[in-house]
Amino acid sequence: MFELRPYNRKNHMTDYNPFREIDAFEKSFFQNPFGFFGSDPLVEFRTDITDNGDHYLLEADLPGFEKKDINLDINGDLLTIRAERHSEHEETDKKNKYIRCERSYGAYSRQFDITGVDREGIRAKYENGVLKLTLPKQKEELPPARRLEIE
């Protein structure tokens, strides 16, 4: 169990970790894009993309975010999802009320290639910590049929 004393950056006992270098080496050695081996889950938020015939469905886990803190930007063929969580403890830290502070704050973003997606038809919905994007596929227009004359 942890000690019950106010959270204070000046308290060096809470910062002491004799295994810090070993932990840093292990994280850098076993780091991979799929987030295994204990990496921070919000470094890259988790997403699922499914092909539903006429559209793709992208579901991104963004628990604890408010809708106003999530931005969706399209630049060319790139869709950028950016979410930012603001720190509320910076103001109250002066009062030394925190006993433990482990929640992470900061900006998180991912980019996706949306080549072949109808940009005008993209719809977004955020509910219960899950961002759902409906990405309709572009309709392939075939050139009109015509008859060729033989020379």
**What is the reported pLDDT for 140?**
80
Strand 47-51, strand 130-136: pairing:
unpaired
Of residues 57 and 148, the one with the higher pLDDT is 57
Specify the pTM: 0.60
**Is the pLDDT confidence value at 9 over 50?**
yes
- Domains of the chain in sequence order: 12-136 (2.60.40.790)
**Is the pLDDT confidence value at 1 over 50?**
no
**Is the pLDDT confidence value at 149 over 60?**
yes
- Other CB atoms within 10 A of residue 79 CB: 20
**Is the pLDDT confidence value at 109 over 70?**
yes
126, β-bridge pairs? 131
| Mean local confidence (pLDDT), 71-81 | 93
**Is the pLDDT confidence value at 7 over 70?**
no
| Mean local confidence (pLDDT), 22-45 | 56
| Mean local confidence (pLDDT), 65-74 | 92
85, β-bridge pairs? 106
Task: Grade residue 33 by pLDDT with cuts at 50, 70 and 90.
Answer: very low
| Mean local confidence (pLDDT), 63-79 | 91
Question: Please, what sign has the CA dihedral across residues 15, 31, 34, 135?
Answer: positive
**What is the reported pLDDT for 121?**
93
**What is the reported pLDDT for 101?**
67
CB contact at 8 A, 9 and 89: no
**Is the pLDDT confidence value at 135 over 70?**
yes
CB contact at 8 A, 62 and 44: no
Phi and psi for 91 in degrees, rounded to 5?
A: -75, -40
